């Protein structure tokens, strides 16, 4: 400490990269954010969102600082400031009324992802009220990877050991924009003379530094994974000992991939046979690590695509080997969020969980054994709008912005508008918050505490380093206060919160791990010892304790137990549809300035990236007589909605394919729902399926579209 200036080590909570940060604090305010080079996982990697975005929102003039109640019509933007007691009472009344009229199942919570503090707080709040219904956005993010890992028994999430690899296989991942830790590691791998294989239809910065760039047709990745396995098996390049000891179903897999020759793959994906063979041989000369991204997730055959690559990781012996894909490690006695969500003591009776919206159709997603025990989001919208299979009438939303980030914006808005009651906790008046009856002010990542399990053998700590601005509160405090009021109304099924404060909850997560609050506060993280290859002591999380190349869980559900290839949904379009919608649309391009719909209110970010862009190949632009920088309207095959974007002519995207970002809206403007109907790609996209038969995910890429001059 110098004078009244203090440096506080913490962890940036703005995204799942979990970078170590150093906050400079003066007079109770964060004046500077810098990377923490001591952090065992991020090692000084950082990004502009952490440096500017976090404090930008914390101290923004338009930040939500007090509870508000809607006075005008829903969405009209007329608000009255109220006190916390009144706000919580009105929320308790709103939820209690729906519960009394339609039953506990008529309540739902919404949050984004289960691996953060609010990702546990919100499901536990709803379960305490008797409802198993929680929306997480992971059918749109990482859900296909998660389900594949689960049915394969392969717990390698985020264990890419690029630092020790000889080869990185980067599939559908733009590390440059998405994760600075990963991007730094890839550049170092290159410098060391390691090899990089990129599978991506777009020329990303990783493709630019790669040794082999496989530019497959969107949505055909599985066939390359299968063909790579074909080569490994045919040329005896697979890890025979590892397969014999730790995998089940190899013979069936071998039979399955027999037909997936590189020649066949070429016919489906357009990548030359020789390139596929070369990629397979380089990958087999490991240790190699598989780096996957959203480019192969969130689509209607996403789980099977991940199955192909997860099986490739397994048969090549790259599981939990230095330079391969490391298994999730945890200190003994520590409870991570995923574990709490699945802990039987915090669950509802099985017959209730079987009624979770989506459970019947997608048991691996929404059933009692579902990956994160969450609803199938499109089925929730259906229930809200139609009352089928039962009415869903009240919602509590925190830490997610469905109006902008779920496909089919008009339907999402119609659903939220029609609710009997809606409460939203947020840091800004987002288009979602704008539809609420009550809006609550939320703390930000410098004001609230969080403890997370990170790769690289460390627990990261987010330090509530400064007091909340205004009257903001953290999710746990809100949930506990709300439950007290619900209890007073006799509308609690069973209060699952055994903690009265955030600190008590943190202590519960730390459990008997031996990691103390003092350690965390001093360093911003705590290391723990890990061991590689402890397969005998720590069996794989599958029925026989081994990796299931042939998945018994999929077989039991009459789903394909072996990895396979489903041609992209767009291939099934009729000639008429192809003529009307001649282009393929990719969405979700990440930008360094924004995190999905976040930071859109900040001047610096608007300067760097003022408007949504649609990338188009020069040949395609010429065919359509479109020039750079003109505004176009994007329409997709399955929806009457549309979206505007400004063209960017570039060879980064292949001919016939256009590509855009996501998360666009214009904070504070009052037309078109703050832009959510006008410049948000989800306004042009359907959430109606086809859905992945295992995860329920819809296609966020590879959609047939057309563009016209706006
Ligand atoms: N700055 C910033 N960083 C972020 C985020 C953010 O919003 N902003 N979001 C975070 C979150 S939650 C996520 S999920 C990640 C997402 O980040 P990534 O996992 O990198 O995902 P995307 O950027 O959507 O797409 C990655 C790549 O997939 C390619 N792709 C598209 N279709 C296909 C296909 O069919 N096959 C293959 N092989 N590739 C395809 C795209 O061309 C793109 O290069 O980023 C995280 N990091
Ligand atoms: N078309 C299309 N749609 C997509 C994608 C795509 O590629 N294409 N990507 C998908 C992916 S990968 C993802 S992860 C989702 C992201 O979807 P969202 O999670 O909805 O995205 P964010 O913009 O990060 O929304 C977070 C919201 O929570 C609020 N918030 C931020 N921090 C906190 C906090 O600490 N506490 C609370 N209570 N609130 C907070 C912010 O104000 C913001 O409104 O979008 C998905 N949607
Ligand atoms: S990548 Fe950026 S936003 Fe994500 S944790 Fe690191 S510094 Fe924060
Ligand atoms: Mo995501």
Of 350-354, 363-367, 541-545, 629-633, least confident by mean pLDDT is: 541-545
Q: Is 588 in the pocket of ligand 2 (CB under 6 A)?
A: yes
pLDDT, average across residues 282-311? 97
Dist. CA 561–CA 552, nearest whole Å:
7
DSSP element (H, E) containing 413? helix 409-418
Residue 79 pairs with which residues in a beta bridge? 70
**What SS3 state is found at 549?**
coil
Phi then psi dihedrals of residue 415, to 5 deg:
-65, -50
Q: Does the pLDDT value for residue 2 go beyond 60?
A: no
- Give the mutation target among 12, 54, 592 for probing the ligand 3 site: most ligand atoms within 8 A of CB: 12
Cα 595 to ligand 3 centre (Å): 9
Contacts of 500 (CB under 8 A, 6+ apart): 480
- Please give the distance of CA 671 from its chain centroid, rounded to a whole number: 29
- Is the Cα dihedral 48, 52, 57, 62 positive or negative? negative
Distance between Cα 593 and ligand 3 center (Å) = 11
Pick from 607, 478, 453: which is nearest to 118 by CA? 478
Q: What is the best residue among 172, 405, 664 to mutate for testing ligand 1's pocket, by most ligand atoms within 8 Å of CB? A: 172
Average pLDDT for 115-119: 89
Phi, psi of 154 (to 5 degrees): -115, 105
In the chain, where are the structural domains located?
68-142+331-527, 156-327, 569-709
d(CA 101, CA 393): 10
User: What pLDDT is recorded for position 671?
Assistant: 79
Q: Is the CB of 599 under 6 A from ligand 3?
A: no
Residue range 512-523: average pLDDT?
96
| Backbone dihedral region for residue 43 (phi beyond 0: left; psi -120 to 50: alpha; all else: beta) | left
- Residue 113's pLDDT is what? 82
Q: Tell me the two tokens of residue 303.
A: 């789980």
Type and span of the H or E element at 525: strand 525-527
- Identify the burial level of 519 via C-beta atoms within 10 angstroms of its C-beta, where 0-12 means exposed, 13-18 middle and 19 or more buried: middle
Q: What pLDDT sits at residue 3?
A: 59
Ligand 2 binding pocket includes 120 (Cβ within 6 Å): no
Ligand nearest to the CA of 446: 2
Question: Which pLDDT belongs to residue 539?
Answer: 96
Question: How many residues are recorded in the chain?
Answer: 710
Indicate whether 586 pLDDT > 90.
yes
CA pseudo-torsion sign 538, 544, 548, 553: negative
The set of protein residues with a Cβ atom below 6 angstroms from ligand 1 is 15, 49, 141, 171-174, 177-179, 199-202, 204, 218-219, 221, 293-296, 586, 588-592, 594-596, 701-702
666 CA from centroid of ligand 4 (Å): 21
Q: What is the pLDDT of residue 42?
A: 95
Topology, domain 68-142+331-527: Rossmann fold (3.40.50)
How far is Cα 181 from Cα 18, in angstroms, rounded to an integer? 9
**Phi and psi dihedrals of 247, rounded to 5?**
-120, 145
**What's the CA gap between 121 and 341, in Å, rounded?**
9
Which CATH code is given to the segment(s) 569-709?
2.40.40.20
In degrees and rounded to multiples of 5, residue 414 shows phi and psi of: -60, -40
* Ligand 3 pocket member 456 (CB < 6 A): no
What pLDDT score does 475 carry?
Answer: 96
Question: Atom 37 of ligand 1 has which residue's CA nearest to it?
Answer: 172
- Residue 296: CB within 6 Å of ligand 3? no
Work out whether the CA dihedral 336, 338, 340, 345 comes out positive or negative: negative
**Which residue owns the Cα nearest ligand 2 atom 7?**
588
In terms of DSSP H, where are the helices of 153-300? 175-178, 180-191, 205-208, 221-234, 240-246, 250-258, 262-269, 273-284
CA distance 153 to 553: 10
Distance from residue 597's CA to the centre of ligand 2 (Å): 6
**Among the bound ligands, the one closest to the CA of 594:** 1
Ligand 3 proximity of 294 Cβ (cutoff 6 Å)? no
Q: Tokens 């004078």 identify what position?
A: 3
Rounded CA separation 673/212 (Å)? 44
CA-proximal residue: ligand 1, atom 4 (nearest): 178
Measured at the CA of 471, the angle between CA 469 and CA 474, to 5 degrees, comes to: 85
Distance separating alpha carbons of residues 246 and 240, to the nearest angstrom:
10
Which strands make up the sheet holding 195-199, listed edge to edge? 212-214, 195-199, 167-171, 288-292
What ligand has the least distance to the C-alpha of 17?
Answer: 3
Contact 570, 184 (CB under 8 A): no
Enumerate the H helices of 426-565 as residue ranges.
475-488, 502-510, 517-523, 552-556
User: What predicted TM-score, i.e. pTM, was given to this entire model?
Assistant: 0.98
Is 70 exceeded by the pLDDT of residue 376? yes
CA of 312 to the centre of ligand 2 (A): 31
Reported in sequence order, the residue ranges of 294-339 that DSSP labels E, i.e. its strands, are none
Bridge partners, 395 (sequence order): 108, 422
Q: Which residues contact 236 (CB under 8 A, 6 or more apart)?
A: none
175 Cβ below 6 A of ligand 2: no
Starting from the CA of residue 595, give the closest ligand: 1
Tens-digit pLDDT profile for residues 651-698: 999 999 999 999 999 998 887 899 999 999 999 999 999 999 999 999
* Average pLDDT for 73-94: 96
Q: What is the position in ligand 2's atom list of the atom closest to the CA of 663?
A: 23
Q: What is the pLDDT of residues 602-613, one digit of tens each?
A: 999 999 999 999
114 pLDDT exceeds 90? Answer: no
How far apart CA 375 and CA 696 sit, in angstroms, is 10
Q: Which ligand is nearest to the CA of 664?
A: 2
Confidence band, pLDDT 50/70/90 cuts, at residue 1: very low
The reply to whether ligand 3 has any atom less than 6 angstroms from the CB of 34 is no
DSSP string, 604-623: HHHHH--S-EEEE-HHHHHH
Ligand 1 atom nearest to 174, measured from its CA: 20
Half-sphere exposure of 526 (CA within 13 A, CB side): 20
Residue closest by Cα to atom 6 of ligand 3: 19
d(CA 40, CA 168): 21
What value does the mean pLDDT of the chain take?
A: 96
Six token digits for residue 332: 């003994």
Q: Is the CB of 595 under 6 A from ligand 2?
A: yes
Which ranges of 419-492 does DSSP label H, i.e. alpha helix?
475-488
Q: Nearest-CA neighbor of 131 among 467, 375, 295?
A: 375
373 conformational bin, left if phi > 0, alpha if psi -120 to 50, beta if neither: left
pLDDT digits (tens, 9 = 90+) for 3-49: 589 999 999 999 999 999 999 999 999 999 999 999 999 999 999 99
The pLDDT tens digits of the residues spanning 334-371 come to 999 999 999 999 999 999 999 999 999 999 999 999 99
Residue 205 burial by CB count (10 A; 0-12/13-18/19+): exposed, middle or buried?
middle
Kindly list the distances between the CA atom of residue 192 and the CA atoms of 164, 167, 195, 210, 452, in Å, as whole numbers in the listed order: 10, 11, 9, 13, 31
Looking at domain 156-327, its CATH superfamily turns out to be Dimethylsulfoxide Reductase, domain 2 (3.40.228.10)
Burial of 424 (0-12, 13-18, 19+ CB in 10 A): buried
List pLDDT tens digits, range 223-255. Answer: 999 999 999 999 999 999 999 999 999 999 999
């Amino acid at each position: 400490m110098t004078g009244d200036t203090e440096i506080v080590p913490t962890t940036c909570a703005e995204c799942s990269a979990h970078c170590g940060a150093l906050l400079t604090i003066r007079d109770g305010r964060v004046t500077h954010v810098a990377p923490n080079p001591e952090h065992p996982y991020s090692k000084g990697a950082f990004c502009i969102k952490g440096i500017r975005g976090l404090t930008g929102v914390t101290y923004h003039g338009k930040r939500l600082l007090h509870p508000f109640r809607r006075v005008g019509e829903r969405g009209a933007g007329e608000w009255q400031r109220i006190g916390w007691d009144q706000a919580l009472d009105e929320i308790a009344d709103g939820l209690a009324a729906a519960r009394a009229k339609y039953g506990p199942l008529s309540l739902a919570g919404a949050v984004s992802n289960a691996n953060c503090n609010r990702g546990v707080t919100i499901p536990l709040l709803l379960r305490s009220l008797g409802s198993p219904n929680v929306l997480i956005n992971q059918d749109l993010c990482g859900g296909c990877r998660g389900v594949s890992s689960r049915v394969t028994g392969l717990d390698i999430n985020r264990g890419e050991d690029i630092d020790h690899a000889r080869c990185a296989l980067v599939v559908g991942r733009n590390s440059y924009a998405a994760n600075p830790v990963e991007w730094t590691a890839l550049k170092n791998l290159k410098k060391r003379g390691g090899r990089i294989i990129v599978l991506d239809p777009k020329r990303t910065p990783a493709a630019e530094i790669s040794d082999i760039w496989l530019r497959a047709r969107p949505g055909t990745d599985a066939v390359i994974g299968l063909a790579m396995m074909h080569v490994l098996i045919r040329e005896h390049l697979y890890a025979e000992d590892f397969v014999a000891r730790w995998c089940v179903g190899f013979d069936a897999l071998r039979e399955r991939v027999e037909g997936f020759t590189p020649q066949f793959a070429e016919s489906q994906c357009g990548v030359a046979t020789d390139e596929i063979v070369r990629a397979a041989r380089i990958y087999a000369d490991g240790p190699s690590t598989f780096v996957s991204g959203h480019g192969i997730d969130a689509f209607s055959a996403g789980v099977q695509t991940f199955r192909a690559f997860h099986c490739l990781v397994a048969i090549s012996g790259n599981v939990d080997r230095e330079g391969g894909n490391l298994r999730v490690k945890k200190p003994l006695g520590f409870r991570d969020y995923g574990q709490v969500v699945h802990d039987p003591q915090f669950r509802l009776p099985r017959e209730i969980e079987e009624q979770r919206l989506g459970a019947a159709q997608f048991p691996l997603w929404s059933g009692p054994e579902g990956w994160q025990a969450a609803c199938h989001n499109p089925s929730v919208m259906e229930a809200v709008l139609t009352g089928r299979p039962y009415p869903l009438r009240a919602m509590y939303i925190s830490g997610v912005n469905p109006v902008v980030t779920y496909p089919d914006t008009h339907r999402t808005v119609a659903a939220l508008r029609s609710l009997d009651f809606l409460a939203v906790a947020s840091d800004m008046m987002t288009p979602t918050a704008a539809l609420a009856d009550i809006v609550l002010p939320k703390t930000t990542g410098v004001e609230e505490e969080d403890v997370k399990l990170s790769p690289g053998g460390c627990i990261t700590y987010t330090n509530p380093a400064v007091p909340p601005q205004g009257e903001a509160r953290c999710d746990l405090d809100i949930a506990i206060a709300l439950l007290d009021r619900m209890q007073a109304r006799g509308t609690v099924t069973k209060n699952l919160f055994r903690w009265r404060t955030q600190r008590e909850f943190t202590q519960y997560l730390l459990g008997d791990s031996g990691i103390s609050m003092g350690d965390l506060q001093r360093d911003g993280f705590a290391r723990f010892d890990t061991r590689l290859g402890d397969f005998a002591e720590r069996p794989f999380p599958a029925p026989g304790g081994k990796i299931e190349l042939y998945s018994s869980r999929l077989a039991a559900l009459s789903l394909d137990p072996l990895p396979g290839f489903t041609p992209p949904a767009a291939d099934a379009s009729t000639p008429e549809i192809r003529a009307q919608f001649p282009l393929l649309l990719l969405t979700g391009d990440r930008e360094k300035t924004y995190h999905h719909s976040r930071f859109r209110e900040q001047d610096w970010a608007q300067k760097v990236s003022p408007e949504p862009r649609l990338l188009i190949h020069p040949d395609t632009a010429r065919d359509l007589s479109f020039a750079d920088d003109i505004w176009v309207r994007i329409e997709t095959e399955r929806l009457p909605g549309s979206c505007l974007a400004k063209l960017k002519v570039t060879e980064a995207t292949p001919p016939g394919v256009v590509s855009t970002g996501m998360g666009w809206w214009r904070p504070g403007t009052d037309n078109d729902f703050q832009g959510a109907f006008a410049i948000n790609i989800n306004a042009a996209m359907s959430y109606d399926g086809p859905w992945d038969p295992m995860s329920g995910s819809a296609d966020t890429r590879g959609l047939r579209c057309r563009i016209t001059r706006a």
